[in-house]
Amino acid sequence: MFYPENFCRTRAIKRPSKMIFRQFFDPASSTFTYLLASRENGEALIIDPVKSQSETYVAAINAMGARLVHAIDTHTHADHITALGDLRDATGCVTIMGDMSKALCVSQRVREGDLLKVDGIELKAIYTPGHTDESFSFVLNPAKPQAVFSGDVLLIRGSGRTDFQGGDARRSWDSIVNKLFTLPDETVLYPAHDYKGCTASTIGDERRLNPRLAGRTESEYVAIMEGLRLPNPAMMDIAVPANLACGQ
């Protein structure tokens, strides 16, 4: 493995400012969840919430006097159960996924280039298949990209497995290299998981330092991904059916 000296160089990363930004971590599945609001007592949105943490999110939203209007899943997760259904029941929020998702409890489906606007916060949906065939990423403030929520297609010094749920290593390469890597270098990368204690990266750092991608060709990347031979996630047989049914 390739661990550069500045691995997890998070102190140098400029976090989104002029907004309320909370990053939650679910230790059981190593999942990151992001809560964004432009101000106290305003409207909020959440990305990739985990069912077992629903009460934590609701408490945080209530503490800032906010109203949750959007709950977004980047893709159908195989390693944890989504909180989309619980949050919709608790707050009346609109549940959002990409237009190819087969999940039942999605009340709004986004397509490539769609803009989500919540109280001054703008997210642009970009279709980034590869980890699954229905994964989307979301660019914060697309006019001058501040951050991207990449789900699992691009991880910090890694990338999401491509061996189930319609995954495809060539499409993963295309999504990362031809879409995510065209964002400005300073765009902060917020993935849905990290397994090594990192919390954020940047597009520039991943272009230079991601050991699966930096200096690689597409066929080298495909060979790496196809050679991973990972065991299935422990919760996969429970999580995927549950996530197609609102996490219930």
Q: How far is the CB of 76 from Fe ion (least distance, A)?
A: 8
| Selection from 126, 99, 106 nearest residue 115 by Cα | 126
Kindly tell me which residue out of 134, 152, 205, 206 binds Fe ion, with binding defined by CB under 5 A.
Answer: 152
Q: Does 73 bind Fe ion (CB under 5 A)?
A: no
Q: How far is the CB of 138 from Fe ion (least distance, A)?
A: 15
Q: How far is the CB of 77 from Fe ion (least distance, A)?
A: 5
Q: How far is the CB of 131 from Fe ion (least distance, A)?
A: 6
Q: Which residue is nearest to Fe ion (CB)?
A: 152
Q: How far is the CB of 73 from Fe ion (least distance, A)?
A: 10
If DSSP codes are grouped into helix, strand and coil, which group holds residue 116?
A: strand
Q: In the 3-class helix/strand/coil scheme, how is 12-77 assigned residue by residue?
A: HCCCCCCCEEEEEEECCCCEEEEEEECCCCCEEEEECCEHHHHHHHHHHHHHCCCEEEEEECCCCC
| Selection from 167, 169, 186 nearest residue 177 by Cα | 169
Give the interface size with Fe ion as a residue count (CB under 5 A): 1
Residue tagged 């703008």 (tokens): 122
Of 48-56, 149-157, 170-178, 198-206, which part binds Fe ion (CB under 5 A)? Answer: 149-157
How far is residue 13's CA from residue 10's CA, in Å, rounded to a whole number? Answer: 5
Of 61-69, 102-110, 136-144, 151-159, which part binds Fe ion (CB under 5 A)? Answer: 151-159
How far is residue 187's CA from residue 143's CA, in Å, rounded to a whole number? Answer: 12
Q: How far is the CB of 78 from Fe ion (least distance, A)?
A: 6
Which residues contact residue 168 at a Cβ distance below 8 angstroms, ignoring those fewer than 6 apart?
Answer: 129, 130, 133, 162
Single-letter code of the amino acid located at 94:
V
| Residues forming the site for Fe ion (CB under 5 A) | 152
